A and B are shown apart, each in its own frame.
Chain A
Amino acid sequence: MDVDRISFFNALAIEMNAHPERYQVLGDADMSALIVMNGDASFCVRVDFEELHCAGVHQAEPDDPADFSLVGDRDAWQAMFDDIVAHGRATGLQTINSLALLGDRIACGGTDPMGLDKFSRFNQTLQEFFDGAARTAVPA
């Protein structure tokens, strides 16, 4: 499972959009998240959420506008998704909130305070989106 691929995030989006019932209980979420993976070759993707859907997955640059960004080494992201696939959902310190709270492997940042707040306000939606990796046949 290679997580630094647009196709990987497209698969997560398809999974989310195929199962709005999972997100219905959480309610609408409007946010844009920039996911940045640093490594030999950096990878950046912008994921847009509208209501109960993932509205878009786009190749992006780390300084592109978004509500907030999540920046970490590719290995940290790989470990997070490996944990999700292994357990069916993020466990232990591998939830996105835990990782961002500790901030040493994946950090949450942003220039708009209200945008940054959305990381907490829509956190369960974001976690559910990432947990989708366990439910979909992600491309190798």
Chain B
Amino acid sequence: MTQTDTYDQLPDTSPMGAPLDWAWLRGAKSEWGVHPKPSPRGLTMLDIAVGKYGEVPEHPAHRSMAPRGADVDPDTVDMGYILNRKSDVWAENTRELYEEAVARQWSATRDIPWGELEELPDDVEHAMCQLCTVLTEVEMIAADLPAKWMWRMNHDFIEAKMFLCTQIMDEARHAEVFRKRALSNGGGLLISRSGSTSLLRTIMEAKTYTQATALLHLLGEGFVLDIFRMGELIAPTDVEKRIFRMCMQDEARHVAYGTMHLRYAVEHDPDVAEEIHEALDHGESVLVDFGTAPDISTALAMLLAGGAEHVEDKGFPLAQELSTKQFTSYLARCERAGISRLERTTIPLELLGIDPDTIRAAGAAA
């Protein structure tokens, strides 16, 4: 005798006369008896990806908020999702990155040694505040954009949506930490130019989520990741070093998701490659305008030089060198994502001293 047989005596109506439904107890078709084993760190999303609960369908049967693996009512409401193919949003590293994001959250209030901030020379403080102004402005796009698309994603892709939730939290923290830095050392928020907003608008107005991901994760966040890496290098005190390193870790997760999502998308739907290229054709030119905008390029050069005195002989040459590394990193990521830009990009490779063979090697290694 099975255990459910013992429930035959359960009533059909409530004491108030309302009809009762015991189907969840007697006959749900969902999988029963799974026993995922917790890993040493606890029960992770990877651990519970077992049986049909772990199978992410290429084309989900429903467009409801029913949890994947549940026994879903056939007449459940359509939520109006438009991203209903797995290749629209998925990346092979989604679950891993979600767990990593949850485990590595930090606090801009508590985990930055604000008490160790030092009074800086006026030119350096201004440059840091200008950089923080730009970063405070651009970081929230990586929260706004997923928010724009998440409610259109099929709920069977719950892990991808959960990861994007962590990204939104990360970006809120980045906006917070750069705003705090700008205001905390005798400076303040400085100049916001139209170039930043043009870049952000280009990303926000992408026609598809995959185009949006190419513009945001691969191009925009990849570029900002390199600014964070550079920021740690040029930070005038340990406080800024810590800020940039912590932000760098978060940003690298976002770039890792975007790179692997685009790779998954292109592998499962090669036609999407042209769509991505079109977005990047436009995005690259806007990004170059943003990256070479007089305010951010001068602020970075000032920080790289350690002050106004050596901005020409040290700041700009080093900025040029790092700019080459930024574009090299971006093009290598494109190769890894399966979207080689070498034959198509208008980025002046020769002028920047970028060797296409080095980029191709990065792609071949992937």
| Contacts from A to B (Cβ < 8 Å) | 25-29, 50-51, 89, 91, 93, 95, 97-98, 101-103, 110-114, 117, 120-124, 127
Contacts and interface: CB of A to CB of B under 8 A. Distances in A.
Interface residues of B, number: 36
Interface string B96-114: 0001100111100001000
A95 B259 contact: no
B233 A117 contact: no
Nearest to B362: A113
In this complex, the member of B233, B248, B260, B365 whose beta carbon has the largest number of chain A beta carbons within 10 angstroms is B233
26 contacts: A25-B111, A26-B106, A27-B106, A95-B233, A97-B232, A97-B233, A101-B229, A101-B230, A101-B232, A101-B325, A103-B325, A110-B365, A112-B366, A113-B336, A113-B362, A113-B365, A113-B366, A117-B252, A117-B255, A117-B259, A121-B100, A123-B252, A124-B245, A124-B246, A124-B249, A127-B245
Contacts of A117: 252, 255-256, 259
List 4 tightest A-B contacts by C-beta distance, closest first. A27-B104, A120-B252, A27-B103, A98-B233
A121 B249 contact: yes
Contact of A121 (B232, B241, B256): B256
B252 A101 contact: no
Contact of A97 (B40, B229, B325, B336): B229
Contacts of B238: 89, 91
B225 interface: yes
A25 B230 contact: no
B253 A121 contact: yes
B56 interface: no
Query: From DSSP, what is the main secondary structure of chain B's interface residues?
Result: helix
A88 B249 CA distance: 22
Contact of B106 (A25, A28, A51): A25
Contacts of A122: 249
Contacts of A114: 93, 256, 260
B45 interface: no
B322 interface: yes
Contacts of A28: 41, 99-100, 103-104
Contacts of B103: 27-28
Contacts of A95: 232-233, 241, 245
A71 to B, nearest CB: 15
In this complex, the member of B105, B225, B252, B259 whose beta carbon has the largest number of chain A beta carbons within 10 angstroms is B252
Interface in B225-255: 225, 229-230, 232-233, 238, 241-242, 245-246, 248-249, 251-253, 255
B41 A51 contact: yes
A26 B229 contact: no
Nearest to A109: B365
B248 A120 contact: yes
A97 B100 CA distance: 20
B104 A26 contact: yes
B294 to A, nearest CB: 24
A28 B102 CA distance: 9
A12 to B, nearest CB: 18
Contacts of A29: 104
Contact of B233 (A25, A102, A120, A124): A102
A101 B106 contact: no
A87 to B, nearest CB: 9
Contacts of A89: 238
Nearest to B263: A113
Contacts of A113: 259, 333, 336, 362, 365-366
A83 to B, nearest CB: 13
